[in-house]
A = this chain, B = another copy of it.
Amino acid sequence: MTADRSNTLSPLFHPTSLAIIGASNDAARIGGRPLQYTRDAGFAGRIYPINPNRELVQGLPAFDNITDVPEPVDTAIIAVPAASVVETAEACAAAGVKAAVIFSAGFAEMGESGRQQQAALSNIAHSSGMRIVGPNCLGVYNAEHGFFGTFTSTIEAGWPKPGTVGLVSQSGAYGSHLSLLATLRGIGIRFWLTTGNECDVDVAETIGWLAQQAGVSVIVAYAEGISDRDRFFAALVLAHQQGKPVIFQKVGRTGVGAAAVRSHTASLAGADAVYDGVFRQFGVYRARDTEEMLDVAYAASFGILPASRRIGLMSISGGVGVQMADEAVERGLEVTPMSAVAQTRLKALLPFASPRNPVDITAQAFNNLELVGANLNVMLEEKTYDSIVAFFTFVAAAKAMVGPISETLRLAKEAHPSCLLILSIVGPKEVVSRYEESGCPVFEDPTRAVRAVDALSRFSEAFARRAPSMTIAGQSETHLPPSPISEVVAKRLLSDAGLPVVNERVCVTADEAVAAAIELGLPVALKIASPDIVHKTEFGGVELALNTTTDVRNAFVAVTGRTKMAHPEARLEGVLVSPMVTGGVETIFGVQDDPTFGPVVMFGLGGIFVETLNDVSFRVAPFDEEEAHRMMRELQGFGVLDGARGLPRCDLDALASALAALSRFAAQHSGQLESAELNPVVALPAGQGLIGLDAVIVAKA
């Protein structure tokens, strides 16, 4: 179920004819609110209340049944008791309704019989082609067309303004909370959908539809998990192609959180760290919380994504300048100093200013308003900064200031349209709006403004790359051998896939082992080779650092002897003889079959410290070398590979190439592969490559 049917969502969001089944005269009831909201909002389409007990509902002629409606219905709201929902949905499908929105709860979230009812709804959707939203959802709105097919009471706090944000939330209550906060903050949500139990329409597909709407420039999504990987990826690729930021909140980062997700939904959540990898891979910004999600959406809705991480900071308080600089540096933004020439210019304008960056113009600058503009222009004319955050707090909110300062900003924006200029101002809503109209996002908190710059920079970096592709040219038809796969075979498979594994020999006699040791060069390691034995060290199946041929001969006898004692039933392939590898940095390559995302590749540094810190990164297979480079750079301990503290830099290109190769191998064997691990992989200094010393591949049963 991965074909893109998302164009079929258009009637849902843009109905010309709307039926409300279970329409109520009481505007406070679930079946009354969408009718009242939609009429009050000036919806231009036709509305057909369905209620067999009334002639009129809220003054409109009511119909007994969906079949009585005199024209084809685009969207039907279903607000009837759970027991009647399936039959109502069937009637809608039979009547040619294009989309049904089911408010009613009592389905998969309520146990087995609910699950069966929900499955029946899925069948109706799939067999008839009628799209179904919900059940157990709070509906949909299109703020531009005045269509409010929802019973959320947040609408009473103010009409959402039809801006350029599209929002989709699995949770109705949370989606309503977001709609309210956005409206209060002046963030314009054009399209809003809550998907509830997702018997048909899901968050992923809705992202894809939003990505294709001309009126949407930013997509905000909330989900507790993703069920259809391919649909999700297709949607994200669409958003990437359109250059539309996707801000995603996926809860359940911690064990407790994930358990709580399971307790209140039926959705299957993959490992949370894998989501981190997926979001990075597709250029999606993962918001940790509500505030961050709306901050980034708000800033993104101004349509400027800074082309670099170089940020200029201007402040009327030195202390806040430092606060912003601290946050910027910790987020990886570059607080590049002003040029010497510009610093001199600033000092000439304001002798008391700190001109370096952060630029502290002090509140005194506001005694002569031209100075504010002049200072700003000096910063802009550097053409160094693709974003500037200016902290003006209440000083710029004084009545006398708003006109001239916002005009100054408008002119500055006109001259430097690609620079993202964010203001930090504390003032009443009307003042904030004036500044927003000059093209500048306004944050009360300067630190949050800096965080938003970081987020927008990530989007521009992601959009500068190709969208990830999940297909591999010339996909191999090879099949994995049956389980168990021995270390020897695992290494051969990975070596064939382009991964460098240690050069070793399988020897079945002591003489062969000695000959191999001489060929490979002493010292060597010996290790028993058997598909039936995974843990080889414990019983003495491994001997390391053998320096002489006598040692090798003795070790062969000892290792095979101990193996026969410990594992009398094991099939033996012989003894592996391999050169000892010294130096380099130990890394770990892994593949897991994620229940949601299929084969994902894991990369980390070896050693107890990093295992304790859980410092690993993930990507969905397959990916290319560039993505592998980014994946490596996500490790906290990346410095260890990158030549920190005077160590040699490791062969990063070789690492990237091997990770990409492993990802192709994983993707080619998707469905067959349970897990794979190459551990340790010793990364040698630049130019010297890397060596995988041990490998395990587990095929699916």
Contact = CB atoms under 8 A, between A and B. Distances in A.
Contacts of A252: 322, 326
A424 to B, nearest CB: 9
Main secondary structure of the interface of A (DSSP, over half): helix
Interface in A314-335: 316-323, 325-330, 335
B290 A447 contact: yes
B290 A445 contact: yes
Interface string A580-621: 000000000000000000000000010111111100000000
Interface stretch (A350-358, A452-460, A560-568): A350-358
A539 interface: no
Interface in A274-326: 288-291, 316-323, 325-326
Given A153-B394, A291-B445, 11 more contacts: A153-B395, A171-B317, A173-B318, A251-B326, A252-B326, A254-B326, A254-B330, A256-B326, A257-B326, A288-B326, A608-B640
- Which of A318, A354, A395, A647 has the largest number of chain B CB atoms within 10 A? A318
12 contacts: A171-B318, A171-B320, A174-B320, A177-B317, A251-B326, A252-B322, A254-B325, A257-B329, A260-B325, A289-B445, A289-B447, A612-B640
A173 B426 CA distance: 13
A371 to B, nearest CB: 16
Contacts of A444: 181
Contact of A322 (B257, B335, B356): B257
A693 interface: no
Contacts of A352: 105, 109-110
Interface in A418-475: 426, 444-448
A358 B327 CA distance: 31
Interface of A: 105, 109-110, 153-154, 157, 169-171, 173-174, 176-177, 180-181, 184, 222, 224, 249, 251-257, 259-261, 263-265, 288-291, 316-323, 325-330, 335, 352, 354, 356, 358, 360, 362-363, 393-395, 398, 426, 444-448, 605, 607-613, 636-637, 639-640, 644-645, 647
Contacts of A261: 318, 322
B356 A263 contact: yes
Given A290-B445, A608-B640, A322 B180 contact: no
A335 B613 contact: no
B174 A426 contact: no
Given A256-B329, A426-B181, A640 B445 contact: no
B264 A360 contact: yes
Contacts of A645: 608, 611-612
A394 B447 CA distance: 27
Contacts of A318: 171, 173, 224, 260-261, 264-265
Given A609-B637, A612-B644, A174 B319 contact: yes
A260 B356 contact: yes
Contacts of A249: 323
Contacts of A448: 291
Contacts of A322: 224, 251-252, 257, 260-261
A647 to B, nearest CB: 7
Contacts of A329: 254-257
A325 B288 CA distance: 12
B263 A170 contact: no
Nearest to A329: B254
A609 B640 contact: yes
A73 to B, nearest CB: 28
B611 A609 contact: no
Contacts of A607: 607, 609
B358 A260 contact: yes
Contacts of A109: 352
A261 B326 CA distance: 11
Given A251-B326, A260-B322, A445-B290, A176 B394 contact: yes
A153 B257 contact: no
Contacts of A170: 319
A330 B258 CA distance: 13
A317 B328 CA distance: 33
Contact of A323 (B290, B360, B636): B290
B224 A319 contact: yes
A181 B352 CA distance: 26
A79 to B, nearest CB: 15
A257 to B, nearest CB: 4
Nearest to A607: B609
